[in-house]
Amino acid sequence: MARLGAEALSEAEGLELLDRAVAGDQEGLLVPVRLDFAALRSVDVAAELVPPMLRGLVPGRGRGRRRAAGVANGVVGGGSELARTLAALDVSARAAHVLDLVRSAVSTVLGHASPEAVEPERQFRDLGFDSLTAVELRNRLASTTGLRLPATLVFDYPTPAALAGHVLTEVVGEAEHVTDALVPVGGGADDPIVIVGMGCRYPGEVMTPEDLWDLVLSGGDAVSEFPSDRGWDLENVYHPDPDHPGTTYSREGGFLHRAAEFDPAFFGISPREALAMDPQQRLLLETSWEAFERAGIDPATLRG
């Protein structure tokens, strides 16, 4: 905020301004703020980084115009400077150029000394973004690219790499957005279903399709004693009478003994939220991710 021309207030200053506001008889809307006019004048007004309410305090600075980059015949078009720059580059160089542009903007917003400090695959929230810096990044990129970008940009495209891919697609068009894909293989009329990826969890320490196949081939037994990490009263859960309430007449069963092993950070989930989740939901996340990976699909590309 100091970089945008608004300095912090001490407790005493804040309380003094509150007293003056309450004691005053002004009909207008009062804003208790300490302005740094030197910093305010150095902010890029064209990028709309100066709050609208403060733009009148920065004389002689015009408001920038946003220009949408056009696309003609599936190649780079439009009149933006970025579009013209990308037009002279090959496909791989375009992607690298846009990623550098995004990392530079992120570095500036977060106050890093160099764009090299910005990891392309690290999520914006882990990099330290909040709602204020998210809007600042959007404004900077909108000014640089000439694109109309939403305020939810860092939430819609949660990493610098994903955001760079979106910007590149918006500027050069879908034709340049090349990704690895599965090649469909034709099947006969008597074989309408093809399994391209699997993920599974079963009792008997089955964590993969290979584990399941080995268990079946070996004739193994997936039944085991009750797990000890579920918070169950193992001493009193058994009762020989099947009609006895709150107990079971069996001492064994089919259990997923590693169901409690879950990596919440991998899925962008807080530890507290993970504890509150239904275990079946955690298992569904894990097995779905593995099924996509085994199919040769990057799960991260399926966001949304």
pLDDT one-digit tens code per residue, 276-297: 999 899 999 999 999 999 999 9
pLDDT one-digit tens code per residue, 181-201: 455 555 566 767 788 899 999
d(CA 294, CA 229): 30
- In this structure, the answer to whether residues 79 and 17 fall within a common structural domain is no
Examine residue 144 and state whether it is found in any structural domain, yes or no.
Answer: yes
- In this structure, the answer to whether residues 85 and 30 fall within a common structural domain is no
- In this structure, the answer to whether residues 220 and 298 fall within a common structural domain is yes
Examine residue 104 and state whether it is found in any structural domain, yes or no.
Answer: yes
pLDDT tier, 215 (very low <50, low <70, confident <90, very high otherwise) = very high
Q: From 156, 176, 196, give the residue that closes a domain.
A: 176
Number of structural domains in the chain: 3
What rounded mean pLDDT belongs to the chain? Answer: 82
Helix (H, G, I), strand (E, B) or coil at 248: strand
d(CA 138, CA 106): 10
pLDDT one-digit tens code per residue, 237-290: 889 999 999 899 998 899 998 888 899 988 888 888 998 999 899 999 999 999
- In this structure, the answer to whether residues 254 and 226 fall within a common structural domain is yes
- In this structure, the answer to whether residues 172 and 78 fall within a common structural domain is yes
Examine residue 40 and state whether it is found in any structural domain, yes or no.
Answer: yes
Q: Are strands 75-76 and 71-72 parallel, antiparallel or unpaired?
A: antiparallel
Q: From 133, 158, 176, give the residue that closes a domain.
A: 176
Contact between 254 and 203 (Cβ < 8 Å): yes
Average pLDDT over residues 124-130: 88
pLDDT one-digit tens code per residue, 140-179: 898 888 888 988 888 889 899 999 999 998 888 754 444 4
- In this structure, the answer to whether residues 48 and 120 fall within a common structural domain is no
pTM above 0.75, yes or no: no
- In this structure, the answer to whether residues 230 and 270 fall within a common structural domain is yes
- In this structure, the answer to whether residues 238 and 286 fall within a common structural domain is yes
Q: What is the CATH number of the domain that holds 111?
A: 1.10.1200.10
Average pLDDT over residues 12-28: 87
| Alpha-carbon Rg for the chain in angstroms | 29
d(CA 259, CA 282): 8
Of 43-52, 76-85, 285-294, the one with minimum mean pLDDT is: 43-52
- In this structure, the answer to whether residues 91 and 48 fall within a common structural domain is no
d(CA 149, CA 139): 8
- In this structure, the answer to whether residues 153 and 82 fall within a common structural domain is yes
Q: From 57, 81, 98, give the residue that closes a domain.
A: 57
- In this structure, the answer to whether residues 23 and 91 fall within a common structural domain is no
Question: Could you tell me the residue range of the domain that residue 148 belongs to?
Answer: 71-176
Q: Which residues pair with 238 in a beta bridge?
A: 248
Structure tokens at 5: 């021309």
Examine residue 278 and state whether it is found in any structural domain, yes or no.
Answer: yes
Provide CB contacts within 8 A for 248, sequence distance 6+. 237, 238, 239
Structure tokens at 153: 């940009």
- In this structure, the answer to whether residues 53 and 86 fall within a common structural domain is no
